[in-house]
A and B are shown apart, each in its own frame.
Chain A
């Protein structure tokens, strides 16, 4: 008998024993109706956006709340320019400017729902890197020194300051992982009060199972990378981004 069949048969035989101390013979599943929502974020969408900002700040991230797409567009550009200046100022060598400073690892920018953004970024001088195959050594090597990444999200949760990024198609997982700084653009239409609300909506629409399966990879991210392994001292940017900045904008006004 294969290992699989041996293990399964052993478990079945054990569970059939009448006096087994554990688990209880009658054990019901946790139903959708009874499952609790652990955290809460009451209020309208602006209250939820403010809560998101508060929670993200609490875990050392930063956030802007904007009323229009135009403001969001300007904010993305100015944030990237600010980071560029910070990088160059922090560099100790004389050749303060390097070509890769202007490179930004990103998902296809049409997904950000900010019209005109690619054009304005290019005009300012940023070079948008949209890799097609990161197992290709050349492309892999190229992204190694890119210092900033831009993505949008599948969903964001106000009550914990978290967001979900997917990893399929042109949406490189690396964009939210390998750069030192991650700029995440979140339209209000993707902001939910809680993770449970998002899951309930997906479940209700009958999409949850297929969505999780087809995504290949989903990551729930709550703030910048960190560790307390050095005797409890909090250090940021251990492997993932050291800086996570969210730009939330109201795309629901009309």
Chain B
């Protein structure tokens, strides 16, 4: 069953939990990637690497406008065309114009979260262009008409037999579940597209300010194809994807690869510093770089700048017990998992547009431990909850409940009396229901809709402590 990303949050979660294939596929893959990450970071001075990448990125954000200007200046000096986009419409229009001006009817794309963020495929298709995703996972979900569900493994939610069905249905593949045959078919189909495309589009894993270099990281080689074969190459990059120097880029590359897939380095890191020059055999004749804000500067102003350190490795998704259960589509935004639960509301014009996401967490801290730049995601999620309350976006019964709880906790006598009443009542009720309470009255039935409620202890801790002290005195 496919999760309807336009459905309300609770429905999306229900749909995800009701899909056994999704849970098996996601758990298997996230476990594998988490184990690989752990082994890879343990094999080196992993803590030092995390600290150094964080320090480097903190420095970039402290001097953000200066590094952006340096990058822009060097890209321009290298012969690239730099565009600035405030939001979705601007960015779509820029890429569309470049395509139309160059009569590029076919666009090949490398996997990019920034282009997902601006719904680029949809915009280009509306303009009459054909867009082909070339990362194998992205190609599959494009054929299946679904969005990606993981930052680095977009088709993580599908099992092999489901992918085989997509290939049979959309590519007329003879029935097989042989991964090598499926890959060969995709290679042959996509090779034709690479050779025919007039424009390539990619995101940017990081851009080197001192040289004006765009770096993209892939294992399949589609990033190299997209940035080398078509005459026009367009990069859509979030304005935070900056590193100061080439050495910083190499450091971040290693942190990214180890955290994402446990590799020392991915198969390809393609670094483009400009268009083809006279005498070059290949390479794009034009390189356009779209610097996309789309809420990033607002995110900094709102106090969520720490999440802009993110290098999009997906380690927090793999470590998250909530993500492992519900997968990516249940989050409903471009970004999912713990980083998505922060980024989606923090980037949005109104935080309340994603008011459920800061609650899609157990706050266990596994994401913080996995993050290669040590982003304190649980704290940011709590900050978001706090902001939602300040803005009056939390449900009224919840606000009333918290106020009542605060007044209860400020009176010892009231607290103890209510505790005693709850103990007597819940034990009586539980006794009638055979041990645990199966159904509570509204508004508490939200709890028992999904799980039993254990009755309160017959004796409170305070009573037990008093009795213990009494006994000791007597002894």
Contacts and interface: CB of A to CB of B under 8 A. Distances in A.
Contacts of B195: 140, 144
A172 B195 CA distance: 15
A239 B90 contact: no
B155 A229 contact: yes
Interface in B53-67: 55-56, 58-59, 61-65
Interface stretch (B246-254, B332-340, B428-436): B246-254
A35 interface: yes
Contacts of A229: 135-137, 140, 153-155
Contacts of A34: 52
Interface residues of B, number: 105
Contact of A217 (B74, B135, B273): B273
A30 B271 contact: no
Contacts of A138: none
B69 interface: yes
A4 interface: yes
Nearest to B182: A230
A222 interface: yes
B394 interface: no
B280 A233 contact: no
Contact of B190 (A38, A195, A230, A239): A239
B297 A59 contact: no
Interface in B89-104: 90
A141 to B, nearest CB: 8
A225 B180 CA distance: 13
B65 A11 contact: yes
B112 interface: no
Interface of chain A, helix or strand or loop or mixed?
loop
B136 A135 contact: no
B52 A220 contact: no
A167 B228 contact: yes
A160 B264 contact: yes
Interface string A206-227: 0011001111111111111111
Interface residues of A, number: 85
Contacts of B65: 8, 11-12, 15
Interface string B28-53: 11001000000000001100110010
Interface string A119-151: 000000000000111110000100010000000
A109 B87 CA distance: 49
Interface in B263-285: 263-277, 279-283, 285
B289 to A, nearest CB: 12
B267 A225 contact: yes
Interface stretch (A17-25, A45-53, A64-72, A82-90): A17-25
Given A30-B55, A233-B179, A238-B136, A219 B268 contact: yes
Interface string A146-165: 00000000000001101000
A133 B280 CA distance: 7
Interface of B: 25, 28-29, 32, 44-45, 48-49, 52, 55-56, 58-59, 61-65, 68-69, 72, 74, 77-78, 84-86, 90, 134-137, 140, 153-155, 158-160, 163, 179-180, 182-183, 186-187, 190-191, 194-195, 208, 210-213, 219-222, 224-225, 227-229, 231, 239, 244, 246-248, 250-251, 253-254, 261, 263-277, 279-283, 285, 291, 293, 297, 300-301, 303-306
16 contacts: A7-B68, A7-B84, A15-B300, A55-B264, A167-B283, A172-B281, A203-B247, A208-B246, A218-B270, A220-B253, A221-B267, A222-B263, A225-B267, A236-B183, A237-B187, A238-B222
Given A29-B56, A219-B269, 11 more contacts: A8-B69, A160-B265, A170-B279, A203-B246, A214-B273, A218-B271, A225-B220, A228-B153, A229-B155, A231-B25, A231-B163
Complex A-B, nearest 5 residue pairs according to Cβ-Cβ distance, in ascending order: A240-B221, A229-B137, A22-B305, A27-B62, A238-B220
Interface of A: 2-4, 6-8, 10-12, 14-15, 17, 20-25, 27-30, 32, 34-36, 38-39, 55, 59, 131-135, 140, 144, 159-160, 162, 167-174, 177, 195-196, 199-200, 203, 208-209, 212-233, 235-241
